[in-house]
Amino acid sequence: MFVDEVDIHIQAGDGGNGCMAFRREMRVPRGGPSGGDGGRGGSIFLVASAHQNTLVTYRFHPEFKAERGRHGEGSNCTGSDGADLILEVPPGTVAYELGEATVPLADLTTIGERVLVARGGRGGRGNAAFATSTNRAPRRTENGAPGEGRRLRLRLKLLADVGLVGFPNAGKSTMIARISAARPKIADYPFTTLTPNLGVVTLSNDRSFVVADVPGLIEGAHDGHGLGTKFLAHLERTKVLVHLIDISSATGRDPIDDFEIIRRELDQFVSDDEGTVPLATKPQIAAATKIDAMDDPSRLERLREHLTERGIPLFPVSAVTGDGMAPLLEAMWRETSRAAHETPLHT
């Protein structure tokens, strides 16, 4: 099951209480206070892990609490600290604190990246800590401080270099299956793909990049129509967008209209994250798919003229036969390399 957004509640451990004790030993006159301090409560960390690729674990287990610190003991024994709690998430996960306003806390994009999201409570002081030259038998202690508690929203945004966009059944799943080892479901009905798929494309000279196959978009997707904004958000981290446009007459739609509808959806999508690069401003390439089933060459020529006016290169391809795939992949690599040097992966 692919889950890309969950709400969880986390509670760091409370600090242990300080102890009030006095030495009671033979031949030790006026032994004095010996109450130890309480231990620190366990903290909670988010860690980006290569072993996770979805947030499904947290859908069925939304409550997490770290261990509290142990109370102080006599003989100046400090209580042990509570164990920290590590929550593993997929790379690309953004954590938000829920409240009156949704506040971003962390953005984990690198495997092994570790972020503190709830700090454990400080341990309380025992009475030995309050002894002075004028107060040799203090009867004062401190309770441990409570650990931080938060309600978090975890949102996964795929980390990919290239994002494939287009109408349902435009050939995105067939494309990613052709160019990578990914094996998404492929069928001849709309919305066959219900979850994003990632594939690694390998070219000559040890070159490679990651491609994301995003479920099909329709008009009004930015308002939640079809699969809505849920999957548009997965395109935010991509460096390059590739429009897949069905050039055959099977759909009954005009390829120019298909391109313009998707372009408007990208333009109107508003991210929840401030500073995110608008989708419509990303480098874009177009691929006229299903040329093996093309029955009207004028559709391809009209689309080429339209995209030339917009400065978008067009590559006629067939993911089934492999025709035209090599030039398209080289164009993906060039744009990805150029974008990598011009803009960071995320903001």
Residue 63 included in any domain: yes
Q: Give the mean pLDDT of 258-286.
A: 77
Cα gap 167→305, rounded to integer Å = 21
Structure tokens at 288: 């006229």
Residue 242's φ and ψ, nearest 5 degrees, are -120, 115
Do 174 and 321 sit in the same domain of this protein?
Answer: yes
User: Lowest-confidence range among 100-109, 187-196, 205-214, 241-250?
Assistant: 187-196
pLDDT at 223 over 60: no
Name the pLDDT band for 346 (thresholds 50, 70, 90): very low
Q: What DSSP character marks residue 37? A: P
The whole-number pLDDT of residue 127 equals 94
The answer on 186 and 73 residing in a single domain is: no
Residue 277 binned pLDDT confidence (cut-offs 50, 70, 90): low
Q: What is the mean pLDDT of the chain?
A: 84
| Of 250 and 97, more confident | 97
CATH of the domain at 11: 2.70.210.12
338 or 229, which is more confident? 338
Final residue in a domain of this structure, among 156, 182, 207: 156
* 170 located within any domain: yes
| Single residue among 113, 138, 156 that ends a domain in this structure | 156
Per the structure, the count of domains in the chain is: 2
Instruction: Render pLDDT for 11-39 as a digit per residue (tens, 0 to 9).
Output: 999 999 999 999 877 777 677 899 999 99
Same domain, yes or no: 177 and 217:
yes
Whether the per-residue pLDDT at 7 is higher than 90: the answer is yes
232 & 310 share domain: yes
Question: What's this model's pTM, rounded to 2 decimal places?
Answer: 0.72
Segment (H or E) for 103:
strand 103-108
> Hey, which bits of 204-332 come out as E strands?
207-213, 240-246, 284-289, 314-316
pLDDT at 1 over 50: no
Under the banding of pLDDT at 50, 70 and 90, the label for residue 220 is very low
Please tell me which residue, 98 or 42, carries the higher pLDDT value. 42
Closest CA to 12 of 143, 118, 153, 152: 118
What's the confidence (pLDDT) of residue 184? 57
Q: Quick one: pLDDT at residue 4?
A: 75
How far apart CA 57 and CA 54 sit, in angstroms, is 8
Is residue 129 assigned to a domain? Answer: yes
What is the sign, positive or negative, of the torsion defined by CA atoms of 335, 262, 197, 107? positive
Do both 168 and 200 map to the same domain?
yes
Side-by-side strand order, sheet with 149-156:
63-65, 5-11, 149-156, 93-97, 103-108
pLDDT one-digit tens code per residue, 66-80: 999 999 999 899 999
Residue recorded with tokens 């009954």: 252
Alpha-carbon torsion (173, 176, 178, 184), positive or negative: negative
For residues 14 and 138, is the Cβ–Cβ distance under 8 A? no
The Cα 33–Cα 31 span in angstroms is 7
Residues 6+ apart with CB under 8 A from 7: 62, 98, 151, 152, 153, 154
Do 182 and 327 belong to one domain?
Answer: yes
Check residue 18 and give its pLDDT.
96
Q: Among positive and negative, which fits the CA dihedral 31, 33, 37, 38? A: positive
Residues spanned by the domain of 213? 162-342
CA distance 77 to 341: 56
Q: 53-67, 98-112, 243-257: which range is least confident on average?
A: 98-112
Does 297 score more than 60 pLDDT? yes
Q: Mark whether 142 and 168 lie in a shared domain.
A: no
CATH number of the structural domain spanning residue 297: 3.40.50.300
Residues 150 and 176 in one domain: no
The two three-digit tokens of residue 130, written as one number: 């309050």
Shared-domain flag, residues 269 and 303: yes
151 part of a folded domain: yes
Residues 57 and 206 reside in one and the same domain: no
Whether 294 shows a pLDDT value over 50: the answer reads yes
- Residue 347 in any domain: the answer is no
Q: Which residue did the predictor score with more confidence, 218 or 130?
A: 130
Q: Categorize the per-residue pLDDT at 186 as very low, low, confident or very high, splitting at 50, 70 and 90.
A: low
Range among 147-151, 250-254, 271-275 rated most confident: 147-151
Residue 328: the pLDDT is: 94
pLDDT-derived band at 101, boundaries 50, 70, 90: low
Query: Which of 156, 174, 203 is where one domain is finished?
Result: 156
State residue 342's pLDDT score.
66
Q: How many CB atoms lie within 10 A of CB 279?
A: 24
Q: Which pLDDT value is given to residue 196? A: 74
Is the domain of 209 the same as that of 333? yes
* Percent of the chain surpassing pLDDT 70: 84
